[in-house]
Amino acid sequence: MTTTVSREPRGIDGVGETALWMAAARARESRRPDRLFEDPYAERLAGPRGPDLLTYYHTSRGADDGNPYLAIRHRWFDQFLMESATPGCQVVGLGAGLDTRAYRLDWPADTVVYEVDQAAVLAYKADNLAASEESAKCERRVVPANLGDDWPAALLAAGFDPERPSVWFAEGVFFYLPEELAGQVLADVARLSAPGSRIAIDVIGTGIFRFPYMRDFLQKLADADAPWRWGTDDPASWMRERGWTADSVLEPGNRGASYGRWSEDASPPDVPNLPRIYLISARPGTD
């Protein structure tokens, strides 16, 4: 049975559509008795369209029970942020989308979270959280800016201080960008990061573009004007060339990136052309 999804404008499209999909994935995870995190805002943000998109993209991969990677990834980013944030820190979410960490994580005192994304995505998020009686658990500042434009200037205008250590995260962002732009964004972050700063990102391996069962999924992303554009099989070197030293490069199933949801044997390191996904934490500078 084929699931179809309406392409009529219903708020946000393209990259925004993937944000609805991710919100629906977080809502589904939050309903599990063994959930890796709880996002009480995700269902509201996913709206009526999100669950259809969740089914639409996941059945492309031959599975109807969801992608375990999405929950693992979100939990891993949560863990990174809670381990990296300190009182008075400034945290920047690049391509923040419909992320709700400013509302649901227990941030240290005086944390400021900056959310950088397209104006339409941030406006949709504001509209759908407006009725909530919950307040953010930190100071939250939105930065409407495309990563292809002068987002550093917009971030600085919002009050970001490049002389102070910062914590950055970009979950499910870099492989949607052209590789040259992704590298420039990472280099710009390095330029804005004082000593003691940290970043967490995820990237994909090139095998994803060669593995047969990924073809339909990748085509659906392209049809939604949100294609996955590039991958790397040496993420540590890719980071280093752009001003960062990787502290950790993990694949789902590795210790610290499993949470009981992914087999350690799922992606043997000596097998070429597997659809690999990397979770990377790093600090500015090269050793």
Residue at 218 is within a domain: no
Please tell me the predicted confidence (pLDDT) of residue 10: 39
Contacts with 185 (C-beta within 8 Å, 6 or more apart), sequence order: 94, 147, 151, 170, 174, 177
Contacts with 78 (C-beta within 8 Å, 6 or more apart), sequence order: 37, 101, 105
Please tell me the predicted confidence (pLDDT) of residue 271: 80
Residue at 39 is within a domain: no
Give the structural domain span for 267.
Answer: 68-208+232-284
**Count of beta carbons in the 10 Å neighbourhood of residue 267:** 18
**AA identity, residue 78:** D
Domain count for the chain: 1
DSSP bridge partners of 203: 278
Please tell me the predicted confidence (pLDDT) of residue 5: 36
Please tell me the predicted confidence (pLDDT) of residue 4: 32
Residue at 21 is within a domain: no
CB 277 within 8 A of CB 257: no
More confident residue, 287 or 100: 100
Q: Are strands 112-117 and 139-144 parallel, antiparallel or unpaired?
A: parallel
Residue at 31 is within a domain: no
Convert the pLDDT of each residue in 20-65 to its tens digit: 999 999 999 999 999 999 999 999 999 999 999 999 887 654 444 5
The answer to whether residue 15 scores a pLDDT higher than 70 is: no
Please tell me the predicted confidence (pLDDT) of residue 129: 86
Eight-class DSSP state of 213: G
d(CA 119, CA 117): 6
Residue at 197 is within a domain: yes
For helices 15-30 and 49-58, give the axis angle rounded to 10 degrees. Answer: 90
Q: Are strands 244-250 and 198-204 parallel, antiparallel or unpaired?
A: unpaired
d(CA 187, CA 4): 39
- Report the SS3 class of residue 90: strand
Residue at 158 is within a domain: yes
CATH assignment of the domain containing 263: 3.40.50.150
Please tell me the predicted confidence (pLDDT) of residue 262: 85
d(CA 95, CA 121): 10
Q: Closest Cα partner for 176 from 156, 201, 155? A: 201
Mean pLDDT to the nearest integer, 127-132: 77
Contacts with 150 (C-beta within 8 Å, 6 or more apart), sequence order: none
d(CA 61, CA 238): 28
Convert the pLDDT of each residue in 62-76 to its tens digit: 444 556 889 999 999
Q: What is the pLDDT confidence band of residue 132, given thresholds at 50, 70 and 90?
A: low
Please tell me the predicted confidence (pLDDT) of residue 136: 86
Q: Closest Cα partner for 59 from 109, 3, 103? A: 3
Ramachandran quadrant class, 169 (left: phi over 0; alpha: psi -120 to 50; beta: rest): beta
Q: Are strands 166-170 and 112-117 parallel, antiparallel or unpaired?
A: unpaired
Mean pLDDT to the nearest integer, 193-209: 97
Mean pLDDT to the nearest integer, 139-168: 97
Residue at 277 is within a domain: yes
Can you tell me which residue has the tokens 């964004």?
185
